[in-house]
Amino acid sequence: MNYVVKLFPEINLKSASLRKRYITALQINIHTILSAIDPAIKVQREWDRLVVQATPDADQVALVDALGRIPGIQKILAVRILDTLDPDLMLTAVRTAFGHQLNGKTFAVQVKRSGKHEFTSLDLARRIGGALLDEFPNRGVDLDNPQVPIRLEVNAKNTVLVEAEHPGLGGYPLGTQEEVLSLISGGFDSAVASMQFIKRGCKVHYCFFNLGGAQHAIGVKQMATRLWQRFGASHRVRFFEVNFALVLAQILERIPVGNQGVVLKRSMLRVADRLAQRWEIPALVTGEALGQVSSQTLTNLNAIDRASETVVLRPLVSWDKPDIIEMARRIGVAELAASIPEFCAAISSNPNARVKLAQVEFDEKNLDAEILQHAIGAVHYFDIKDVMQELKTAQPLTGLRCVTSPHVDANMPTTNDVIIDVRPDAHTRPLAPQLRMHAKQSMQHIPYYRILTEFAELDQSKNYFLYCDQGVMSSMQVAHLHERGFSNVQVWRS
């Protein structure tokens, strides 16, 4: 089977030299991806398209699926190359390919020609269409909206019969634009934001700030590798992992509640900015959307950006959340994104919608700069293929759910167990109704950013249930404690 790859229209608007570079890049990318399916694949370049020649025994479904996920392709035509310019032989090929499809359906024959022939495009279309109209049961010709379109492209050497058409991804060939570093959290927003730049032809590297322990890391790595495998596997990219638990704990302890979210994101940008400069990556990418949460105002985004010398790009800034989720579904990551909680979203219960930059900078003086420097110095970075190998032996993603609808956990605390309220402002916040039912039990208040340092001092003969409003912070700390060998702690889900 042969395939004609039609280029994304914007490519054809470029200068001749730039168009040549883009088409060559796409040719290499296609060969890199498809050779994993068909080692004998051939990709030939023509002026405004590429022709893919697959071996007969190759998995044609897999080839079409892979082509549909390569940036820079507008559409894929499954074609039969006819080594003839004889209209009678063309008609024979059309009969074989489309005769069985015409029963009870409308059709149209469309012909494109390049070069000189003894017939015009209209002559050939009428000749073939008239024969089909007479020979097969059908509902007639419909030139505007045919149920069975029959297309032929005739050039100076041969005839191309289009048997099927498949949509492409669009965009620019990967590697034709500059690289970006995406701050990926594993949720819908950062995944779709990353995808927008893959489609735009950028190599997307990933920077993950680990707030939730090994289990959280597994989910985010699964997201990054899925995006890379599906859309970017023609190029090698890096995955950076930053342990940000100590930085977060310090922010929660020393920064006023309303400014915590902005300070956390400014701290993340400082690290990402350093990484971008170190690896000569000219832009950062985030998934923030204007007004999606109360802290994502223009004022706050401006204050966040001031922490980075590297430009910050937000491709989803004007998107609605349903559109983001729908795009995640279309690119095949929605189910995974739904299973990974957004830890950043649960940092501050009362975020300031319009922070004062001067106040934020003053608050940041209370932070120990050495902790951030240590996080920068301890960054782990991997080739994305090494991340894939690591995931093959990793434990399945469990226990990182953000439960928002009340229910009673099957593992109900007994009177000998202890419930720990980990909300930093627990003294000003009401308990959930289900929790008030068990208020006679032993209860303690330990802010979640102190749990890791204080849990070992508790009575280890008891079982502990950590509680917070959304279950995110408690899940994160339980994951950390399990990693440290404590098995007597669970999440209270309200």
Structural tokens at position 334? 């929605």
Give me the residue label for tokens 């970017």. Answer: 232
Residue 249 host element (H or E): helix 245-254
DSSP string, 404-437: -S----SS---TTSEEEE--TTGGGSPPPHHHHT
Nearest residue to 183 (alpha-carbon basis) of 58, 316, 47: 316
Verify whether residue 344 is a known catalytic residue.
no
Output the CA angle 454-372-220, nearest 5 degrees: 80
Residue 191 host element (H or E): helix 188-199
Question: Which amino acid is located at 323 in the chain?
Answer: D
Number of CB atoms found within 10 A of residue 3's CB: 22
Number of CB atoms found within 10 A of residue 400's CB: 23
Structural tokens at position 329? 């579904």
Number of CB atoms found within 10 A of residue 432's CB: 15
Q: Are strands 204-210 and 180-183 parallel, antiparallel or unpaired?
A: parallel
8 Å CB contact between 337 and 328: yes
Residue 380, SS3?
strand
Q: Are strands 418-421 and 442-445 parallel, antiparallel or unpaired?
A: parallel
Give me the residue label for tokens 């990402």. Answer: 272
First to last CA, the chain: 57
8 Å CB contact between 285 and 204: yes
From the list 202, 207, 344, 468, the catalytic residue is: 468
8 Å CB contact between 448 and 477: yes
Catalytic residues, by residue number, are 468
